[in-house]
A and B are shown apart, each in its own frame.
Chain A
Amino acid sequence: MSTIARRTFLGRLLAWWSNPWGQPRFLVLFAWAYVLWSLIPVAVAVMFGFNDGRSRSAWQGFSLRWYYQDPDFSVLHDPSLRDALVQSLKLAGLTMLIATPLGVALAIGLARWRGRGARPANFLMLFPLVTPEIVMGVALFLVFVHLFGFVQLGTQAQLLGHVTFTISYVVIVVRGRLFAVGREYEEAAIDLGASQWQAIRMVLLPMLAPAIWASLMIAFAISIDDFVITAFLTGDQSSATIPVKLYSAARAAPSPALNALASILLFASMLAIGIALSVMRRSRKKEGAQGSAVEDFARLEL
């Protein structure tokens, strides 16, 4: 290959491709192509939420029409879209506040308890993680209709259902930290005269704080993202969350406002996860741990 050809873009690309000492070229291209393929469709969907026209396939200029400007069909002014947004935020907020304390206590109990009941309790905690969502959805729907009739389908049933499947995730997040912390600090506190309860409150819980913050955010994100269980427990349209709304309207009544609504959901979960990641990162930095919080996070997913 001549030196002139090497200066052109194609020439450089060819030289890069045929360099036997570099990274495996095919893998580089494949991995980045995958990332683009996995994110571009979503980026396009977000983009059309900002479209000035009614179309979701032809770009007609940027506007916030579908977010709040349109007096009838924007997310802010269409009651069915606005209600879905409010319902999603309300449900995720309440779920986070109930599931996190339950999950943190369960994680501490399971990590320390060595008795006969510990193994079955541990399996009980893992079970919801491996059960297909549709099975849980059907089960919860039937239990609220036929056994716990005092629970109304709608917000009440949705909240109970969301807490049920979120607890286990909180346990997983907190448990990792518990194993890392070990028992030495608490034992030292007790040796120095603290009561068991003081040791938990003044030593263990502060050390768990980053994991507790992270699990609050993860509980929020998991709850706001859920579709199947929510759909089974939604009574009438007034308690539909954003994912339920997306499901019912994606084919029947699509409009850029739906894209805008989905984008708001995306921003909300990204924000929650961003906070969780930065909390984990800060606590790692303080302790001078190796690696990155993102890698920890990647290994966390079961």
Chain B
Amino acid sequence: MSKQADERGVVGERRWLWPSFALPGVVWLIILFITPLYVIFAMAMGTTDPIFGDTLPVWNPLRWDYATFGEVLNELFTGQLGLVFLRTLVYVVVATALSLLIGYPVAYYVARHAGRYRVLLLLLIIAPFWINYLMRMLAWVNLLSTDGYVNQILLFFGVLDAPREWLVGKHETVVLGLVYGYVPFLILPLFAALDRIDPRVIEAARDLGASPAQAFFRITLPLSSQGVLAGCVIIMLPMFGDYYTATLLSGSPKTNMISKLIEQNINASAGGSTGAALTIVLMVFVGLLMTYYLYSVARATKEARS
């Protein structure tokens, strides 16, 4: 009898064994990840309490009330909200482009030429991952304050005649903060992509008469394009959800990003519905990025498996 059981264990093990390992985690994620996502919809399409004026969720999709959602969409296309959305988009695109300009050469150097400094450099590049984001912003709040080091240095070299108020509603400060905050997250996927390129391919291009620039633009860059795309998506997703950078480094409504409005509405007693509707708008907006990222991660899993 035991022999039979053994053989079953090797060839076709009990059907429920592996799913039962996954079960607790899957149940946890269904209750605390999928259900909460549904609550966003139930709130956005909820009704207003006639006495207290706050929003009550409506669980049945057939009874959803789209009034708040319509208002938000209307604001988005004609009102103040559109402006905030556009500003968010400009910040994110400019910050991503600058991050790429900074991150690509660094990743390229570490992957191809760092030699004996490779591990040390990688360690220093990973370090900001594990330094709290808010601490990194706090560091710039210190440096950029009116009597901070940045002003002191710029005054010393005569770049500025008087101290500049960096921390009050300056677009460039917010973009600097975003770049500083998210560049490390871009460098690692770029590094991984550049590191995968077989150096013999580039040598072959050079042997066949390509100049260094030609070899770079026709071989290295196309071969690393997956990494560029993945890296951009990885930093753009959290940037669209970022409200704290602008709050800490500028603190002015002039530089508010879309997520700031979500945060303000959700925390206000009567804003639950508007906040939820704005969250849905944000999700739809970044949905394409999320889908791309999800599939690229799933593909990486498949490759690792085989």
- A residues at B contact (CB < 8 Å): 23-24, 26-28, 30-31, 34-35, 38-39, 41-42, 44-45, 48, 56-58, 102-103, 105-106, 108-115, 117, 121-136, 138-143, 146-147, 160-161, 163-164, 167, 171, 175-176, 179, 187, 190-191, 193, 195-196, 199, 221, 225, 227-228, 232, 242-243, 246-247, 250-251, 254, 258-259, 262-263, 265-266, 269-270, 272-273, 292, 294-295, 297-299, 301-302
Contacts and interface: CB of A to CB of B under 8 A. Distances in A.
Nearest to B137: A250
A136 B138 contact: no
B34 A124 contact: yes
A229 to B, nearest CB: 11
Contacts of A110: 22
A270 B34 CA distance: 32
B304 A242 contact: no
B232 to A, nearest CB: 14
B52 interface: no
A114 B18 CA distance: 9
B200 interface: no
A257 to B, nearest CB: 12
17 contacts: A34-B183, A41-B140, A102-B28, A105-B24, A124-B34, A128-B29, A130-B293, A135-B37, A135-B40, A138-B40, A142-B276, A143-B39, A146-B39, A243-B134, A250-B141, A295-B118, A298-B122
Interface string B1-19: 0000110011001110111
B149 interface: yes
A269 B279 contact: no
A250 B294 contact: no
- Which of B185, B259, B262 has the most CB atoms of chain A within a 10 A radius of its CB? B259
B69 interface: no
A167 B130 contact: no
Interface string B117-154: 01101111111111111111111111101011100100
Given A27-B113, A115-B19, A138-B40, A39 B238 contact: no
A74 to B, nearest CB: 18
A30 B109 contact: yes
A44 B139 contact: yes
B26 A190 contact: no
Interface residues of B, number: 111
Contact of B262 (A115, A138, A254, A259): A138
B35 A190 contact: no
A272 B129 CA distance: 13
B132 A269 contact: yes
Contact of B248 (A26, A114, A250, A259): A250
Contacts of A175: 301, 304
Interface stretch (B76-84, B100-108, B202-210, B217-225): B100-108
B241 interface: yes
A108 B180 CA distance: 37
A243 B135 CA distance: 8
- Which of B32, B189, B247, B266 has the most CB atoms of chain A within a 10 A radius of its CB? B32
B21 A106 contact: yes
B160 interface: no
Nearest to A114: B18
Contact of A30 (B35, B106, B136, B247): B106
A163 B142 contact: no
Interface in B233-276: 234, 237-238, 240-244, 247-248, 251, 259, 262-263, 266, 272, 275-276
A126 B298 contact: yes
Given A30-B105, A132-B241, A138 B19 contact: no
Contacts of B37: 135, 139
Interface in B169-216: 180, 183-185, 188-189, 191-192
A44 B149 contact: yes
B142 A130 contact: no
Contact of A27 (B13, B29, B108): B108
Given A250-B134, A258-B138, A126 B294 contact: yes
A246 B279 contact: no
B286 interface: yes
Contact of B109 (A28, A123, A126, A299): A28
Contacts of B276: 138, 142
A139 B40 contact: yes
A102 to B, nearest CB: 5
Contacts of A128: 29, 33
A179 to B, nearest CB: 5
A143 B36 contact: yes
A298 B191 contact: yes
Nearest to A269: B130
Contacts of A193: 6
B86 to A, nearest CB: 19
